[in-house]
Amino acid sequence: MNGSRLNVAALRRAVPLRMWGGKGSGLPCDFCRVTVGPDDVEYEVEAQLDGGTVMLRFHYRCHYAWTGGEEPRAAEDPRIAADRA
């Protein structure tokens, strides 16, 4: 599983465990396959999938879509967290 791109079905099965937000690392988003640039907010998600653990990377908007379009909580938005720091 490590190193291989996940298909949409696998992404849907993945259960998020932990999440970090930060600047884009220049690596492709696991949702839209487009590079997350340094000017983008990147979400890194540790997720459980088929008995293993995978690391996923998303744009802010792609993470939002992946989670089903739920309104993100303020504490999970790195831009808001940065304002509070």
* CA-based max dimension of the chain: 37
Question: H helices within the chain, ranges in order?
Answer: 8-13, 60-66, 78-84
Give yes or no for residue 45 binding Zn ion (CB under 5 A).
no
Among 57, 59, 60, 63, binds Zn ion (CB under 5 A): 59
Closest alpha carbon to 66 in 23, 12, 20 = 12
Q: Which is nearer to Zn ion, 1 or 34 (CB)?
A: 34
Among 29, 45, 47, 54, binds Zn ion (CB under 5 A): 29
Give yes or no for residue 54 binding Zn ion (CB under 5 A).
no
